[in-house]
């Protein structure tokens, strides 16, 4: 009866159901011994020679499907006016990058970094046979696999292949959230999730001690998951205790930008936490933050613009903070979203789910400029959407190979034409 009713659990099930966090605990104490000093600059437990560098990656997920055409705006295309009688007003106030393209009017800080050659824009990023489902498309981007065969997240896989995350659980960390994003999942990667800096402490010493004692060798299918979560919590609490003393923000992080709908995202706070983890030398290598609210089926002109301001403030403060600590040359910030939006606007002044979009990459290691062909607004596909010009995995490849300097093919399973935005 049970044989029929409830399946035996396979390794694949564990990944698909998110029962991850690398449970193999053997030899971990040795990994710890390799960290002599949490304040040492860039101490990572590298599994391999050659990946012991000080580079850090911060991925910002724009959840909900962020419109590309109101982010990186075609300035000269009359077709945009036809498709978007109202939304094309964004072109009038755009901040010109060149004769053809402008950044959203609210990306003022990022535009200033663009002027310094620290911003790359990749246009037309997408993948073949696009999905219009948020969740399906998020999974494609998270796993780096449009065929939907992979279950590991591309960042999790990068961590598992290259870094000793079990000895150093902050190597991969999601900031400002309570759960592990799919991109970071891998059975063999240990990850930390820190919702908020100030709340990340045990309210009673007795509870802290008891949790440490109880969550060890917990039975059951969730046992390793529980134990690892509690272990990383205790470890991170201890590290943040010291980090607080080593870090004072040197930029103004503000979460006060006005949004049409109030946002649940504290992007500024999340990036400030990321900065703290990087600057204090806590061993952070790959960080993930999320800003939601981009599913603009209505009132897109105002909603998208207000989110742009929010993004701009947070990213600019983050970059300035790192710069003040002399670390802006180590950290790459990249935005991603599950899809762009349809070129044709709807009656509510919004847009439906679309396909290709533009990605922003910010950091001192970036070779500033425009990459990728902006898709044609006249040759839309059968669903009325943009035809992608750059495979998103080509962007991943550049991040992995040129910024983090790891073997990209091992993560992506194939090679792509280079999008050379890293200097």
Partner 1 sequence: MAARTPSAGGPTRRSVLITALVTFAGVATARVLGVRDLSTGFTLRPRSAPAMDPMDDAMDMAMDMPESEVIPAEMAPEPMATASAPPLQAAATASPAPVRATTPTRTPAPTARPTSTPAAVAAMPPIAPPRVSGFDWASPLESEKARVAHLLRRATFGATDAELDAAQADGYARTVERLVETPPAEPQAPAAIAADANARIGIGDLQAWWTDWMLRSPTPFAEKMTLFWHGHFVSDYRKSQTNPMYWQNRTWRQFSLGKLADMLHRVTIDQAMLRYLDLATSTGRNPNENYARELMEIFTMGAGTFSEDDVKAGAKALAGWRLPRATESVRTGVFDPSRAYAGTLTFLGKTGTFDTTSVIDRVLAQDVTAAYIARQVAEHFISPFVADAYVARIAARFRSSGYQTRTLMREVFLSPEFTSPDAYRALVKGPTEFMVSAAKAIGSASLGRAIAAAGTGLGQNLFDPPSVGGWGDNAAWVSASTMLARANFVSTALGATRTLPPSTSAVARHLDGVLGPETARELATTSDDRRRWLVILSSPEFQLK
- Give the footprint of partner 1 on residues 84-123 (CB under 8 A): none
CB of 316 to partner 1, least distance (A): 25
Q: Binding to partner 1 (CB under 8 A): which residues in 10-39?
A: 11, 13-14, 17-20, 22-26, 28-29, 32-33, 35, 38
Measured from the CB atom, the residue of 131 and 419 that comes closer to partner 1 is 131
Question: Least CB distance from residue 115 to partner 1, whole Å?
Answer: 35
Find the binding residues for partner 1 in span 353-382 (CB under 8 A). 353
Nearer to partner 1, 223 or 249 (CB): 223
225 belongs to the binding site for partner 1 (CB under 8 A): yes
Strand 172-175 vs strand 192-194: parallel, antiparallel, or unpaired?
parallel
Examine residue 341 and tell whether it contacts partner 1 (CB under 8 A): no
Nearer to partner 1, 144 or 372 (CB): 144
Residues in contact with partner 1, shown as a per-residue x/- string from 143 to 162 under the rule CB under 8 A: ------xx------------
Judge residue 423's burial from the number of C-beta atoms within 10 Å of its C-beta, 0-12 exposed, 13-18 middle, 19 or more buried.
middle
**CB-CB contact of 62 with 75 (8 Å):** no
Longest CA–CA span in the chain (Å) reads: 69
Q: Residue 274 and residue 277: Cα distance in Å, rounded?
A: 5
412 in Cβ contact with 393 (< 8 Å): yes
d(CA 406, CA 398): 10
- Cβ of residue 223: shortest distance to partner 1, in angstroms? 5
Q: E strands of 20-74, at which residues?
A: 56-62, 72-74
Q: Does 198 bind partner 1 (CB under 8 A)?
A: no
Total residues in contact with partner 1, by rule CB under 8 A: 108
Confirm or reject binding of residue 128 to partner 1 (CB under 8 A): no
Closer CB to partner 1, 177 or 419, in the complex: 177
116-124, 206-214, 267-275, 361-369 -> range binding partner 1 (CB under 8 A): 206-214
Beta carbon nearer to partner 1, 302 or 423? 302
272 vs 402 by CB, closer to partner 1: 272
Q: How far is the CB of 14 from partner 1 (least distance, A)?
A: 8
189 binds partner 1 (CB under 8 A): no
Q: Give least dist CB 1 to partner 1, A.
A: 5
Among positions 61, 123, 162, 166, the unique one binding partner 1 when judged by CB under 8 A: 166
Footprint on residues 247-306 left by partner 1 (CB under 8 A): 261-264, 292, 295, 297-298
Work out which of 76, 98, 116, 179 binds partner 1, going by CB under 8 A: 179
Least Å distance between CB 230 and partner 1? Answer: 5
Looking at beta carbons only, is 89 or 237 nearer to partner 1?
Answer: 237
Query: Taking a C-beta distance cutoff of 8 angstroms, is the pair 350, 297 a contact?
Result: yes
User: Residue holding tokens 């870094």?
Assistant: 163
Residue 164: alpha-carbon gap to chain centroid: 21
Please tell me whether residue 210 binds partner 1 under the rule CB under 8 A.
Answer: yes
Residue for token digits 């946002």? 263
Pick from 93, 100, 348, 373 the residue near partner 1 by CB under 8 A: 348
211 binds partner 1 per the rule CB under 8 A? yes
* Whether 314 contacts 200, CB under 8 Å: no
Nearest to 172 by CA among 183, 31, 281: 183
Give whichever of 238 and 248 is closer to partner 1, judged by the CB atom: 238
> Does residue 395 belong to the site contacting partner 1 (CB under 8 A)?
no
Tokens of 178: 């309570």
Question: What kind and span of H or E run contains 16?
Answer: helix 11-16
> If we measure between CA atoms, which residue out of 98, 91, 95 comes closest to residue 75?
91
Q: Is the CA virtual torsion 150, 154, 156, 158 positive or negative?
A: positive
Asked whether position 1 contacts partner 1 by CB under 8 A, the answer is yes
CA distance 233 to 20: 16
Applying CB under 8 A, which of residues 54, 255, 329, 352 lies at the interface with partner 1?
352
Looking at residues 47 to 86 of the shown chain, list those that interact with partner 1 (rule: CB under 8 A): 63-64
Q: How many CB atoms lie within 10 A of CB 273?
A: 27
Closest CA to 328 of 40, 39, 58: 58
Contact 386, 353 (CB under 8 A): no
Residue 236: its H or E element:
helix 223-246
CB 123 within 8 A of CB 374: yes
């Amino acid at each position: 009866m049970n044989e029929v009713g409830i399946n035996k659990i396979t390794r694949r099930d564990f990944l698909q159901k998110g029962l991850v966090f690398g449970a193999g605990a053997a030899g971990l104490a040795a990994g710890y011994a390799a960290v002599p000093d949490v304040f040492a600059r860039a101490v990572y437990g590298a599994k391999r020679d050659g990946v012991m560098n000080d580079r850090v990656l911060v991925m910002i997920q724009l959840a909900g499907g962020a419109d590309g055409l109101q982010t990186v705006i075609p300035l000269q295309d009359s077709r945009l006016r036809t498709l978007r009688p109202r939304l094309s007003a964004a072109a009038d106030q755009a901040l010109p990058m060149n004769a053809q393209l402008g950044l959203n009017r609210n990306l003022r800080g990022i535009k200033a970094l663009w002027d310094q050659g620290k911003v790359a824009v990749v246009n037309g990023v997408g993948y073949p046979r696009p999905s219009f489902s948020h969740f399906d498309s998020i999974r494609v981007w998270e796993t780096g696999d449009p065929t939907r065969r992979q279950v590991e997240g591309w960042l999790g896989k990068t961590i598992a292949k290259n870094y000793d995350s079990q000895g150093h659980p902050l190597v991969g960390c999601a900031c400002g959230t309570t759960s592990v994003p799919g991109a970071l999942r891998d059975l063999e990667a240990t990850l930390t999730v820190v919702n908020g800096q100030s709340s990340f402490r045990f309210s009673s010493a007795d509870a802290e001690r008891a949790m440490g004692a109880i969550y060890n060798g917990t039975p059951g299918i969730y046992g390793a998951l529980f134990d690892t979560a509690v272990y990383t919590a205790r470890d991170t609490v201890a590290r943040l205790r010291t980090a607080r003393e080593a870090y004072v923000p040197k930029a103004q992080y503000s979460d006060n930008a006005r949004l049409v709908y109030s946002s649940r995202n504290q992007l500024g706070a999340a990036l400030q936490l990321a900065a703290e983890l990087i600057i204090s030398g806590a061993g952070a290598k790959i960080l993930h933050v999320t800003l939601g609210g981009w599913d603009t089926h209505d009132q897109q002109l105002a909603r998208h613009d207000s989110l742009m301001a929010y993004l701009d403030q947070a990213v600019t403060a983050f970059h300035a903070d790192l710069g003040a600590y002399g670390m802006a040359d180590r950290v790459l910030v990249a935005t991603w979203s599950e899809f762009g939006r349809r070129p044709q606007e709807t009656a509510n002044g919004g847009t439906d789910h679309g396909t290709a979009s533009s990605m922003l990459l910010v950091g001192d290691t970036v070779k500033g400029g425009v990459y990728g062909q902006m898709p044609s607004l006249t040759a839309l596909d059968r669903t009325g959407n943009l035809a992608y010009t750059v495979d998103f995995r080509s962007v991943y490849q550049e991040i992995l190979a040129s910024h983090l300097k790891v073997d990209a093919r091992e993560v992506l399973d194939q090679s792509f034409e280079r999008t050379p935005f890293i200097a």
